[in-house]
Amino acid sequence: MLGAFIFLQKLRLTPDVGFSVNDWTVVVIFCVVIGGIGTLEGPIIGVIVYFALREFLSDYGTWYLILLGTVAVAIMMLAQEGLWGLVARRFDLHLFSLRRHLNQ
């Protein structure tokens, strides 16, 4: 799915663009880490948070990336399981449960 989004933005996809660290790899890692690794809901929450932060912080110019990094480090230090991990643990909520449970 990410490849389709890259193609829609770039309109030309080459290996340099597809695997560019500056363009997409860092954004994808940011979204997954912020939202929560190991769940399906986590990256979805991470994408929402990323686009919200991008909209609110874009007026700060180059400080925008420093602020994004600060947010990422703060969430990694305070919530190791990501934002969705906090929500899932607090409210015992699992929307797209991919884990197998043993029924006895």
What confidence tens digit (pLDDT) does each residue in 13-44 have? 677 766 676 667 788 888 888 998 888 888 88
**12 pLDDT tier (thresholds 50, 70, 90):** low
| Residue 10 in domain | no
- Domain range for 86 is 19-91
- Mean pLDDT across the chain: 81
Q: How far, in Å, CA of 64 to CA of 53, rounded?
A: 9
Q: How far is 47 from 39, CA to CA, in rounded Å?
A: 13
Residue-wise burial string across 3-20, b where 16 or more C-beta atoms lie within 10 A, e elsewhere: eeebeeeeeeeeeeeeee
- Which of 6-20, 32-46, 58-72 shows the lowest mean pLDDT across its residues? 6-20
Q: Is residue 11 part of a domain?
A: no
pLDDT of residue 23: 67
pLDDT reading at 77 higher than 90:
yes
**Residue 96 domain-assigned (yes or no):** no
What pLDDT shows up at residue 80? 87
Q: Does 2 map to a domain?
A: no
Name the pLDDT band for 83 (thresholds 50, 70, 90): very high
Q: Is residue 81 part of a domain?
A: yes
Task: Determine the length of the chain.
Answer: 104
Residue 70's pLDDT is what?
Answer: 92
Sign of dihedral through CA atoms 29, 33, 36, 41? negative
Instruction: Answer whether residue 36 is part of any domain.
Output: yes
Tell me the whole-structure pTM to 2 decimals.
0.73
Structural domain count of the chain: 1
